[in-house]
Amino acid sequence: MPLELEQSRKILTELAIPIICAPMAGGPSTPQLAAAVSNAGGLGFVAAGYLSPESTAALLDQTRKLTVHPFGLNIFVPSPDPVDHAAVAAYRERLLPAAEAAGVALPEAGSEDPAHPDDDFFDQKVSVAIDREVPLVSFTFGLPPAEAVTKLQNAGIAVLASVASPAAVEAAAQLGVDAVVVQGADAGGHRATLSNHEKPDNLPLADLVIAATEATSLPIIAAGGISRGSQIAELLALGATAVQLGTAFLRANEAGTRPAHREALTDPRFVETAVTSAFSGRPARGLRNAFIDAHTAHAPNEYPQLHWLTTPLRKAAAERGDVEAVNLWAGVGYRETQTGPASVILSALWESAVAARAEHERS
């Protein structure tokens, strides 16, 4: 049955529980996690980043078998920035000793693997979303081209843009998207900046939500460092339509988070998070480890080139359980993550938010 755009738009405003499980590319997001959150009254997302169009379609098919409720798809926007191949080559030279020690080969700087094109199969994934009739598609790493927005909306699909500054909220609204995900500085994983070289805005999430609601009447989804019910209640009171959490679900039973990553979230040796471009070439927040300390100052902001350059190192580190040499994406509230079914985690967060709201109304 063809999608109706107005019905797709209403999904965000009619959630039984206004909590979205953030798309987390690279493994944590699974069909089981997306379906579990949607089945429990929230909204799950499938992450298409780094995947082929065929793999993306397969994940959507798997998710649909697990839920009759709506869920979304997240797609990376290709970087418009010219690549500094010399900087990538210099960084590769810096990583060669680590590669030799790990017994892995690094891809040559300037080469593009047909299996992993720099545009991450953008156009094909938009077509997959339409073919599979996904009601919601979110974009990150930039604003999607206007023609992609129109194509999706003509197919009845609501479009969400992820941004990290008040100026970007206005740009997204002018583009004609259906909702805006505003991501604060405390977020785990990659920042939703619009280009590789945009300096991340450190505006607190609450202030960003206020600015966003003043800039547009579109639904605003608050994201970034949310780990408590009290935060959820505050952000909804400030005008957010819903909140989006990723780190909170990293230890859920249904998440595809690597065992070493799960354990690191409660490992006392990790006492803080840090923002780095060392793993991927884009600013991202993760548990501060030896790789971040050794390479952050030398990493150029060249995504996706650095992502694919460091992939062999990160894969080898994950296989040997070396948490000092792999990206451990996490927001600042990582210590509050819980294990168990995603539905239980979702319900506990919402019950805490409701209680916090009631307490505020009594005071």
Q: What is the pLDDT of residue 102?
A: 95
- CA quadruple 195, 196, 197, 203: dihedral sign: positive
Annotated domain spans of the chain:
5-83+118-256+337-361, 84-115+271-327
Q: What is the pLDDT of residue 1?
A: 55
Contact predicate 192/297, CB 8 Å = no
Digit-by-digit pLDDT tens for the chain (363 residues) are 568 999 999 999 999 999 999 999 999 999 999 999 999 999 999 999 999 999 999 999 999 999 999 999 999 999 888 999 999 999 999 999 999 999 999 998 776 677 788 999 999 999 999 999 999 999 999 999 999 999 999 999 999 999 999 999 999 999 999 999 999 999 999 999 999 888 888 899 999 999 999 999 999 999 999 999 999 999 999 999 999 999 999 999 999 999 999 999 999 999 999 999 999 999 999 999 999 999 999 999 999 999 999 999 999 999 999 999 999 999 999 999 999 999 999 999 999 999 999 988 887
Q: Which residues pair with 158 in a beta bridge?
A: 136
CATH superfamily of 5-83+118-256+337-361: Aldolase class I (3.20.20.70)
Strands 19-21 and 242-245: parallel
Q: What is the pLDDT of residue 338?
A: 97
> Under the phi-then-psi rule, with left for phi > 0, alpha for psi from -120 to 50, and beta for the rest, what region is 95?
alpha
